[in-house]
């Protein structure tokens, strides 16, 4: 169903972090951007669709105007808004937002770091754009920061802080079907596996809380009103977002899941875990009849590698890319 294509070489290896691969497709310029985090550096590769041109850039996590030690990055993700695309980088020190090609930093938000180290780590993790003008970023305290992003310029402001989670945020996702018919358009997940479902707006509204079973939800997606959640137990669960009804449970992997992704036009789901496997599934969701089905399609094994990132390269799921801990390449697969 899929076969391996030529890998993209990286300047350094991928770190073991959840959701450690982000992809942005720029159709007008026939380019695709990839970002992979290595410790305190974001590796960016821009590839032309004809496969002939590659260019690399590295962004370091450093707060501007302060000379201290560099800090470790937890996640780098592209946020595609109707008016602009931004690259958001979340680290131990704060949140940086860049133009999507990494050329200019347009915004910096420092996390409140206490003077003396506390018992709990402080960091930002979990990044998603939602509706037309918001970017949400999670924090280790469980808070979710909501930033209001104007259509251009650097006048980005912190609009709201959502304080519903008590444990560190792991991942955040927005409704990606493209349809406006779904009430809920944001889901946030934490270290305890708890999921919060929201409706965005000037004031975000909490629609539902789905309790976790003390098992980390490391990666989450929202499609056609259904939450897809990947857990440390290797399970994937499908919940109806607004009601919390469990539709399906898959014993998908033998180790901790690190990444889930959806191809919204075709309903393909990608799951990747520390067990070296990437699996492709097919989702059929008919909200009207409340029917949700998931079928397994394909496996790929990346030998001797704990996978940390897997993303489709396009909305149909024609191709996907994979990163692994200690691996200095982005492996690509294409439908046969």
Q: Which stretch binds other proteins (CB under 8 A): 82-90, 127-135, 155-163, 252-260?
A: 252-260
Contact indicator for 8, 330 with CB cutoff of 8 Å: yes
Helices (H) and strands (E) in the chain, counts: 0, 29
Instruction: Give the CA radius of gyration of the chain.
Output: 18
127 binds other proteins (CB under 8 A): no
13 binds other proteins (CB under 8 A): yes
Of 165, 204, 167, give the one whose Cα is nearest residue 186. 204
Residue 169: exposure state from Cβ atoms within 10 A (0-12, 13-18, ≥19): buried
215 binds other proteins (CB under 8 A): yes
Q: Which two tokens stand for residue 269?
A: 């789901």
Which residue spans within 252-336 are E strands per DSSP? 257-263, 268-273, 277-286, 291-301, 307-312, 319-324, 329-335
Least separation in angstroms between residue 32's CB and other proteins is 26
177 binds other proteins (CB under 8 A): no
204 or 277, CB closer to other proteins? 277
33 or 239, CB closer to other proteins? 239
301 or 334, CB closer to other proteins? 301
Could you tell me the CA-to-CA distances from 111 to 121, 163, 247 in Å, in that order? 12, 15, 37
Least separation in angstroms between residue 275's CB and other proteins is 7
**Among the listed residues 33, 256, 320, 333, the single contact to other proteins using CB under 8 A:** 256
294 binds other proteins (CB under 8 A): yes
C-alpha 105: how far from its chain's center? 20
69 binds other proteins (CB under 8 A): yes
Q: Which two tokens stand for residue 214?
A: 């003390």
**Among the listed residues 249, 284, 286, 334, the single contact to other proteins using CB under 8 A:** 249
232 binds other proteins (CB under 8 A): yes
Name the site residues for other proteins (rule: CB under 8 A). Answer: 12-13, 15-17, 38-39, 68-69, 72, 74, 92, 117-121, 123, 167-168, 170, 190-192, 214-216, 218, 232-235, 243, 245-256, 275-277, 290, 292-296, 299, 301, 303-306, 325-326
């Amino acid at each position: 169903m899929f076969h391996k294509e030529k890998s993209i070489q990286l300047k350094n290896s991928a770190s073991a972090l959840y959701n450690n691969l982000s992809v942005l497709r720029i159709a007008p310029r026939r380019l695709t951007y990839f970002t992979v985090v290595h410790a305190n550096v974001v590796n960016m590769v821009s590839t032309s669709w004809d496969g002939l041109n590659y260019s690399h850039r590295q962004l370091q996590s450093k707060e501007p105007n302060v000379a201290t030690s560099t800090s470790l990055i937890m996640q780098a993700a592209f946020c595609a808004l109707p008016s602009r695309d931004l690259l958001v980088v979340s680290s131990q020190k704060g949140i940086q937002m860049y133009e999507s090609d990494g050329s200019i930093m347009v915004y910096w938000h420092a996390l409140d770091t206490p003077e003396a180290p506390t018992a709990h780590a402080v960091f930002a993790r979990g990044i998603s754009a939602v509706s037309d003008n918001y970017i949400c970023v999670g924090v280790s305290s469980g808070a979710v920061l909501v930033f209001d992003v104007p259509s251009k310029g650097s006048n980005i402001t912190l609009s709201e802080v959502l304080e519903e989670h008590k444990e560190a945020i792991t991942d955040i996702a927005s409704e990606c079907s493209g349809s406006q018919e779904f009430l809920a358009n944001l889901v946030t997940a934490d270290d305890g596996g708890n999921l919060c479902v929201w409706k965005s707006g000037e004031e975000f509204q909490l629609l539902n809380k789905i309790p976790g079973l003390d098992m980390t939800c490391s990666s989450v997606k929202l499609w056609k009103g259904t939450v897809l959640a990947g857990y440390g137990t290797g399970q994937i669960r499908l919940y109806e977002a607004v009601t919390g009804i469990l539709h399906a449970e898959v014993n998908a992997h033998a180790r901790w899941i690190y990444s889930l992704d959806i191809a919204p036009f075709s309903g393909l789901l990608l799951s990747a875990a520390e067990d070296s496997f990437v699996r492709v599934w097919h989702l059929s969701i008919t909200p009207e009849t409340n029917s949700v089905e998931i079928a397994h399609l394909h496996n790929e094994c990346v030998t001797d590698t704990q996978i940390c990132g897997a993303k489709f390269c396009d909305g149909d799921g024609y191709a996907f890319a994979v990163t692994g801990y200690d691996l200095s390449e982005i492996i690509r697969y294409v439908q046969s």
